[in-house]
Each structure stands twice: as structure tokens, then as C-alpha cells.
Amino acid sequence: MTPILIKNASIVNENNIFMGSVFLQNNLIAKIFEGTISTEQIENLPSETRIIDAIGQYLLPGIIDDQVHFREPGLTHKGTIHSESRAAVAGGITSYMEMPNTVPNVFTQQLLEEKYQLAANSSFANYSFFMGASNTNLEEVLKTNPQNVCGIKVFMGSSTGNMLVDNRETLEALFAKSKMLIALHCEDEKTIRENLQVAKNNFGEQIPVQQHPVIRSAEACYLSSSLAVELARKHNTRIHILHISTAKETSLFESIPLREKRITAEACVHHLWFCDDDYQRLGNFIKWNPAIKSTSDRNAIWKALLDNRIDVVATDHAPHTIAEKQNSYLTAPSGGPLVQHSLVAMLEFHHQKKISLQQVVTKMCHNVAELFQIEKRGFIRESYYADLVLVDLNSPWTVTKSNILAACGWSPFEGVSFQSKVTHTFVNGQLVFENGTINESIRGQRLLFTRS
């Protein structure tokens, strides 16, 4: 493995920005040089060291995405671990955590380990996979190893297959007995079904997509999220509520140091970027569950993100084919591809002065690593794994079908011009993405966790 020196970068790390250089060797960050690196220091490095001059660029820890759907096994016409992790590293994501609603649903330890083997053979980025919970597999869920699995996933709203967990007794037992982090999709199924019937009564089978946030309403989200918080407090369970989409839900979370929290929350890029006005233009291509809602909801999510009630930013990357998305509202699936554009979207918000570079790194790198207790990742520190991304904040480009790497071949950001560009992505000290080119031979590692 060729050692690499990234020199003269503006390093963004642990709420600081400083000029420096980073030496990568044997998968790790071997040395950090603050200030201008000297000729003598460079000459003392191994002779085969590759030098990348990053003058004018920013070096960040690799992005860790705690919620993706890469569709393998069983839904590979939409995407695969190989295709979607390829798009991820092009977007600066060096590690991801993937969800269990593939086909078959990941309800057994054997099926979980089979996904890890798929990733070992095909993933460009580092990986972990959630164990799925159902109404009937509690015993199997409790076998999950907290040291090499990111968490348990519970859908308290409908999903692929048999993944809806709506039995109160099952939820009580899971919250009481699980020693692992439980990640939650919170939408109240009964409320959604009632709202859908009202929409069918009003519109028949031709429901306009603008009804999506009415059907999958703020009340449906809050009912479910508040129940999750109630159960977590009752049993002292460690829970992480995914993709917060409403102002009302933000009141459930506290602005206290992350290390003190047992209840944490995530915002997704699409809930920070889009609002219900965008359905007219983008239709089913921004149909997500939970739904993109009002401008006031979006503003409240931003407020909660910045005051630390919401802890991390992720994607909920969930590709579907263009043909599937072009179906009517009732038959078009929910979800969309985001891993290639999540970092540059957040950097666009930085250009708009909505968020600092240090906060972007905190929410997309540091906090994810701390929240999940990931071993030696998420920070630019000596002896940590060399998961890094170089970005040019002044290199405008436009998203077009020709530069989209997700297998589905579309993006809700098509036509958007971003001011920032990912130029280099390093996974375990290896240069996997460089100025538009992927090194097809590189594979990531299984994430490990510092918990018993």
C-alpha cells in the first residue's frame, strides 16, 4: 500500500480549521503536521510516498452515513452494494450503515452475516448493517453482537415485507431487553391509513403527490416518535430516531452534550433542502417516507440541528428506477438517491451561511462516530483509520444524468449547480476516488464498535 502525504490542506477537525499536512500509512493516519511542512520533514518520509498538494482545498474526515438502503439482496434492479457505495465514495462518504428491508428482510443472524460477506466482496466504502426487528423475532435480535453490528432497526411505520413492528407488547419487550442502540423509523400506521382513506374518498385513485405530507402527516410522525421516547425513558433504552421531518418532533429532544444522551435524532439532507412547494416541480421524485413537509417544518429542523437537539445529518439514500418513480402516486415507491450529493449539498448551505464547516463535520462525521461508538473513525487523529475527503469549495459544477453514479441514473438534484466539489476520497488510507475516477480495486472494511 503506497504511503500518501496530503500537504498544505486546510484541515477541518474537532471544531477547528488549521493549515497542515497528513501522512497516511498502512491504513492509518500516521502523522499530522500543523503549519507548513518542511522539506526536511518530507525527505524523512518513505521514498515511495505519493504527495498530493492540497493548497486551497479543505481536508475533512470521511463522511459517515448512518442510514442508507443499497437494495442488495433482492432489489438489485434498483441498486447494489457495489453501485451505491461507488456513488458514496464519489460524494465523500467513506463509511455507511445499511438498512435491513432488503429481500429477504434481515431477520436472522445468518442473513445478516450474508450481507456482510456481500459487502466484503463489493463495497468501496466501509460498511455496517442493521439487524431487523419484526413482531416475532425478538430472540434472534437479542443475539446481535454489539461489537461488530451498528444497531437494531425498528420500523414503527410500514416498510418492505414484514418489517412493521406495531405490537405494543413486542415493542415493550424489545426496549426492555435490548442492550444495543435501536434505530427507529417513526410514523403511526393507523393515522396514515386513516388519512389515506380520506384522500381516496376525495381524489379516487388519482391522488396528487401534494397529498403525501397530508397522508403521512406531522401528527403521524409525532404520535410514533413520542411513543418511542416514552418507551425509551421507561426502560432506559438507547434509541436513535431517524429522519426527523416535523417541527413538533423537535420538541422531543434535548440540547445537551451528546455523551449524556440516551435519546438521539437524525436529520436527512432532503428534509433540510426541499419543502412541500417542491412537489409541484419534482412530483414523486421527492416522495420520501416520512414526507417532505412545510417550510416551517424545514426551518424548525434546521433550528434543532444547529442547537444540537438533532445530532447527525444522513441521507436515507433509497434508489428506485425512473420507471417506478413515474408511476401514479399510489404505486410510485418512496425514496431517492442522495449519497453522491449529500456533502456538497451541506457545503452549499455553508456557502449560504446557514452552517459552518466545523458544524458540517461535527454533524456528518464526529457525532456519527461518537453516537454509534465506532472504533477509530470519524476524526482526523493520529492512529485513526485514514478515512478522509478533500473538497474544493470553489469548483462549480452541475448535476446531470451524465455524472450521476447511482445505478438508478437520476437525482432530485438534477440541474442544481453546486459551488463545491469532492476531489479526493481516501478509505483506510487508499485513494478510492480522484477527480472523477474510481479505483475499482479498493474495498472497504467492516466497521467495529467500542462497546460491550
Beta bridge partners of 140: none
Q: Which amino acid is residue 211, in one-letter code?
A: Q
Whether the pLDDT of residue 159 is over 60: the answer is no
Minimal CA–CA distance to 159: which of 328, 335, 286? 335
Residue 58 in domain: no
Residue 410 in domain: no
Are the C-beta atoms of 429 and 24 separated by less than 8 Å? yes
Are the C-beta atoms of 291 and 212 separated by less than 8 Å? yes
Q: What's the chain's average pLDDT?
A: 97
CATH code for the domain in which residue 266 is found: 3.20.20.140
> How many domains does one find in the chain?
1
pLDDT at 168 (0 to 100): 87
Minimal CA–CA distance to 154: which of 145, 146, 166, 142? 166
Are the C-beta atoms of 364 and 312 separated by less than 8 Å? yes
Whose cell is 425513558? That residue is 233
Q: Average pLDDT in the 253-265 region?
A: 98
Beta bridge partners of 98: 68, 129
Whether the pLDDT of residue 160 is over 60: the answer is no
Residues with Cβ within 8 Å of residue 98, at least 6 apart in sequence: 68, 69, 70, 81, 115, 119, 127, 128, 129, 130
pLDDT at 162 (0 to 100): 73
Given pLDDT bands bounded at 50, 70 and 90, which one contains residue 158?
low
Contacts made by residues 279-284, CB under 8 angstroms, sequence distance 24+:
279/209, 279/210, 279/212, 280/210, 282/412, 283/209, 284/209, 284/325, 284/326, 284/327, 284/329, 284/332
For 365-416, write each residue's pLDDT tens digit: 999 999 999 999 999 999 999 999 999 999 999 999 999 999 999 999 999 9
Cis peptide before 104 (omega within 30 of 0): yes
Q: Average pLDDT in the 66-78 region?
A: 98
Cell matching residue 108 = 436472522
Residue 426 in domain: no
Beta strands 126-129; 131-132: pairing state: unpaired
Whether the pLDDT of residue 242 is over 90: the answer is yes
Whose cell is 433550528? That residue is 303
Q: Which amino acid is residue 66, in one-letter code?
A: D
From CA 418, how far away is CA 415, in angstroms rounded? Answer: 10
Say what percent of the chain tops pLDDT 90.
Answer: 96
Q: Average pLDDT in the 17-43 region?
A: 97
Q: Average pLDDT in the 125-140 region?
A: 96
For 325-361, write each residue's pLDDT tens digit: 999 999 999 999 999 999 999 999 999 999 999 999 9
Are the C-beta atoms of 300 and 247 separated by less than 8 Å? yes
pLDDT at 45 (0 to 100): 98
For 267-288, write each residue's pLDDT tens digit: 999 999 999 999 999 999 999 9
Residue 341 in domain: yes
Are the C-beta atoms of 366 and 438 separated by less than 8 Å? no
Are the C-beta atoms of 184 and 221 separated by less than 8 Å? no
Q: Average pLDDT in the 109-120 region?
A: 98
Say what percent of the chain tops pLDDT 70.
Answer: 99
Whether the pLDDT of residue 70 is over 90: the answer is yes
For 415-439, write each residue's pLDDT tens digit: 999 999 999 999 999 999 999 999 9
Whether the pLDDT of residue 50 is over 90: the answer is yes
From CA 190, how far away is CA 347, in angstroms rounded? Answer: 38
Q: Average pLDDT in the 222-248 region?
A: 98
Whether the pLDDT of residue 144 is over 90: the answer is yes
Residue 153 in domain: yes
Whether the pLDDT of residue 222 is over 60: the answer is yes
Question: What does the H/E/C string look like for the chain?
Answer: CCCEEEEEEEEEECCEEEEEEEEEECCEEEEEEECCCCHHHHHCCCCCCEEEECCCCEEEECEEEEEECCCCCCCCCCCCHHHHHHHHHHCCEEEEEECCCCCCCCCCHHHHHHHHHHHHHHCCCEEEECEECCCCCHHHHCCCCCCCCCCEEEEECCCCCCCECCCHHHHHHHHHHCCCCEEEEECCHHHHHHHHHHHHHHHCCCCCHHHHHHHCCHHHHHHHHHHHHHHHHHHCCCEEECCCCCHHHHCCCCCCCHHHCCEEEEEEHHHHHCCHHHHHHHHHHHCCCCCCCCHHHHHHHHHHHHCCCCCEEECCECCCCHHHHCCCCCCCCCCECCCCCHHHHHHHHHHCCCCCHHHHHHHHHHHHHHHHCECCCCCCCCCCECCEEEEECCCCEECCHHHCCCCCCCCCCCCCEECCEEEEEEECCEEEEECCEECCCCCCCECCECCC
Residues with Cβ within 8 Å of residue 208, at least 6 apart in sequence: 329
Q: Average pLDDT in the 232-256 region?
A: 98
Cis peptide before 290 (omega within 30 of 0): yes
Are the C-beta atoms of 191 and 217 separated by less than 8 Å? yes
Residue 273 in domain: yes
pLDDT at 429 (0 to 100): 98
Residue 96: domain span: 63-372
Residue 351 in domain: yes
pLDDT at 310 (0 to 100): 98
Are the C-beta atoms of 306 and 359 separated by less than 8 Å? yes
Residue 227 in domain: yes
- Look up the pTM and report it: 0.98
